[in-house]
């Protein structure tokens, strides 16, 4: 029994620095990211987003994103889908310049993605798709923000402020990888 207790204590001591180091590492990573400028967003978000075989206009005034000290950008904008096949299925276009995870189930590699949502009892059911082929990656629930935020079409908050993707009055937490 003593051997078990000693082993357990050594394991706890050995894991404590790793946990603290991992927490510090996450905080350090978050500190590297800031809100992207309009010029930085214009460099990565196209005026006409490639969505499957179409090029759909984007709403430049809705551009939002973050960038890090290495020039990587994660950005999102609204698609103007009226008159396109994407109407009713996709609503936002997202470019990930670094790995990012939304909610607990959607992990994105660097690339271009589409977001579509439907309203449900809890909030929004948001689905993530590959922009090139429309393949579904996964879905998460966006819940009403608490405390309430000013309603915007879409906004990606920097991790030092909130670590959320905001769609209207609903939010999805994200984590940089």
Coil, strand, or helix at residue 48?
strand
Task: Please check whether residue 33 is in contact with residue 158, taking contact to mean a CB–CB distance below 8 angstroms.
Answer: yes
Whether 9 maps to a domain, the answer reads: no
Residue 20 is assigned to a structural domain of this protein: no
**For the residues 107-112, what does the mean pLDDT come to?**
96
- Rounded to whole angstroms, the Cα distance separating 16 from 87 reads 50
Q: Determine, yes or no, domain membership for 124.
A: yes
111 strand-pairing partners: 96
Residue 29 lies in a domain: no
pTM of the model: 0.80
- Split into its structural domains, the chain has a count of 1
How far is Cα 72 from Cα 7, in angstroms, rounded to an integer? 43
Query: Higher model confidence: residue 23 or residue 101?
Result: 101
Peptide bond into 147 cis (omega under 30): yes
Q: Quote the pLDDT of residue 177.
A: 82
Is 1 within a domain?
A: no
Higher pLDDT, 88 or 165: 165
pLDDT in tens, 120-150: 888 999 999 999 999 999 999 999 999 899 9
Domain presence at residue 10: no
Phi, psi of 133 (to 5 degrees): -130, -5
- 174 vs 22: CA distance, rounded Å: 17
Please count the other Cβ atoms lying within 10 Å of the Cβ belonging to residue 90. Answer: 24
pLDDT at residue number 76: 97
Which contiguous run of DSSP H or E holds residue 60?
A: strand 54-67
109 versus 50: the higher-pLDDT residue is 109
For residue 102, give its domain range.
34-176
User: Does any domain span residue 142?
Assistant: yes
- What is the C-alpha to C-alpha distance for residues 102 and 141, in angstroms, rounded to an integer? 10
Specify the pLDDT at position 5.
43
Instruction: Please write the tens of the pLDDT for every residue from 6-54.
Output: 443 444 444 444 444 444 455 555 668 999 999 999 999 999 998 888 8
């Amino acid at each position: 029994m003593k051997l078990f207790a000693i082993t357990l204590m050594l394991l706890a001591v050995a894991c404590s620095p790793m946990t603290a180091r991992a927490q510090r590492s996450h905080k350090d990573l978050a500190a590297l990211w800031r809100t992207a400028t309009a010029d930085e967003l214009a460099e990565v978000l196209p005026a006409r987003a490639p969505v499957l075989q179409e090029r759909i206009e984007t709403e430049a005034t809705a551009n939002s994103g973050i960038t890090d000290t290495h020039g990587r950008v994660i950005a999102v904008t609204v698609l103007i889908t009226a008159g396109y096949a994407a109407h009713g299925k996709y609503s936002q276009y997202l470019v990930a310049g670094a790995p990012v995870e939304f909610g607990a189930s959607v992990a994105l590699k660097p690339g271009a993605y589409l977001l579509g949502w439907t309203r449900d009892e809890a909030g929004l059911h948001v689905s993530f798709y590959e922009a090139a082929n429309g393949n579904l990656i996964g879905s998460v629930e966006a819940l009403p923000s608490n405390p309430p935020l000013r309603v915007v079409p879409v906004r990606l908050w920097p991790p030092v402020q909130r670590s959320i993707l905001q769609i209207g009055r609903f939010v999805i937490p994200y984590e940089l990888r």
